[in-house]
């Protein structure tokens, strides 16, 4: 306890001296990003980014920290001041939001991968269907069936799902059957557990799931392209961040994206 008080007094004195001398005082959270970058990444990137992080560690002996959630939640966390070095979004809307709030460096924006929108069911109840404007969703779902996806006004997968259903002329028929989850992985889990008749998720999430089957792919023209923009967070364009950012869009990472089924651009 005495040591801790002595340490804190010395730290406070050093902070005061730096301030008096006019030297910039860099918060610890910011300094941490200069050695071990934190990446805020869409939930659907979980498996690929974890593999990329492991490979980066093997090649460079340097660590990277990840925080996975819905892109909407991550953008709001950035806005609230949460420390991160890189933001990888599952749609352009939330990256645009981060740019508009001056949270990221627009000049660093890249969109290296894409995805597709699919309909899934529990594997033991799966039945292949074709999604078009004539598809009878209510007959497909039955009397009490629900569709799990993301929250349709904020979570990217939910936004894509609502757009697709609207463009197919089906949104008003099924909107009361939608269960909006906080992320695509949360929606996937509902279908895995049999708590929803079906789910609208990305194809890459369905590929790593247990006990689910893809029963249809949404027409590409029913929704905007599913794209993943990456950007460096403002104030974090340091060597450690730049090195990992470059790795995220390099050939080793692209091979991992392809392994998980992402569309590599």
119-160, pLDDT tens digit by residue? 999 999 999 999 999 999 999 999 999 999 999 999 999 999
Tell me if 86 sits within 8 A of 78, measured CB to CB. Answer: no
CA distances from 40 to 64, 188, 197, 198 (A): 11, 20, 31, 28
Which pLDDT band holds residue 33 (cuts at 50, 70, 90)?
A: low
| Residue given tokens 């660093």 in the structure block | 108
What would the two tokens of residue 158 be?
């939910």
pLDDT given at position 20: 42
pLDDT given at position 226: 98
Q: Is residue 171 over pLDDT 50?
A: yes
pTM confidence score: 0.86
Q: How do residues 174-222 score in pLDDT, each as one tens digit? A: 999 999 999 999 999 999 999 999 999 999 999 999 899 999 999 999 9
């Amino acid at each position: 306890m005495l040591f801790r008080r002595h340490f804190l007094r010395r730290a406070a004195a050093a902070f005061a001296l730096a301030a008096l001398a006019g030297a910039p005082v860099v918060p610890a959270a910011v300094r941490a990003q200069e050695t071990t970058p934190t990446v805020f990444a869409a939930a659907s990137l979980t498996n690929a980014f974890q593999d990329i992080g492991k490979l980066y560690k093997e090649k460079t002996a340097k660590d990277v920290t990840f925080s996975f959630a819905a892109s909407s939640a991550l953008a709001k966390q950035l806005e609230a001041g949460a420390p991160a070095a890189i933001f990888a979004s599952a749609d352009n809307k939330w990256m645009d939001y981060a740019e508009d709030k001056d949270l990221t460096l627009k000049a660093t924006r890249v969109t290296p991968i894409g995805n597709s929108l699919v309909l899934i069911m529990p594997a033991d109840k799966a039945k292949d269907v074709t999604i078009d404007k004539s598809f009878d969703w209510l007959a497909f779902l039955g009397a009490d069936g629900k569709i799990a996806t993301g929250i349709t006004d904020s979570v990217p997968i939910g936004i894509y799902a609502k757009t697709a259903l609207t463009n197919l002329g089906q949104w008003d028929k099924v909107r009361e059957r939608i269960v909006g989850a906080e992320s695509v992985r949360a929606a996937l889990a509902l279908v895995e557990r049999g708590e929803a008749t079906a789910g609208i998720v990305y194809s890459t999430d369905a590929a790593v799931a247990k006990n689910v089957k893809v029963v249809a792919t949404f027409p590409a023209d029913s929704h905007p392209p599913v794209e993943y923009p990456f950007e460096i967070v403002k104030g974090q364009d340091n060597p450690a961040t730049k090195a990992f950012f470059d790795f995220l869009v390099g050939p080793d990472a692209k091979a991992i994206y392809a392994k998980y089924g992402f569309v590599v651009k």
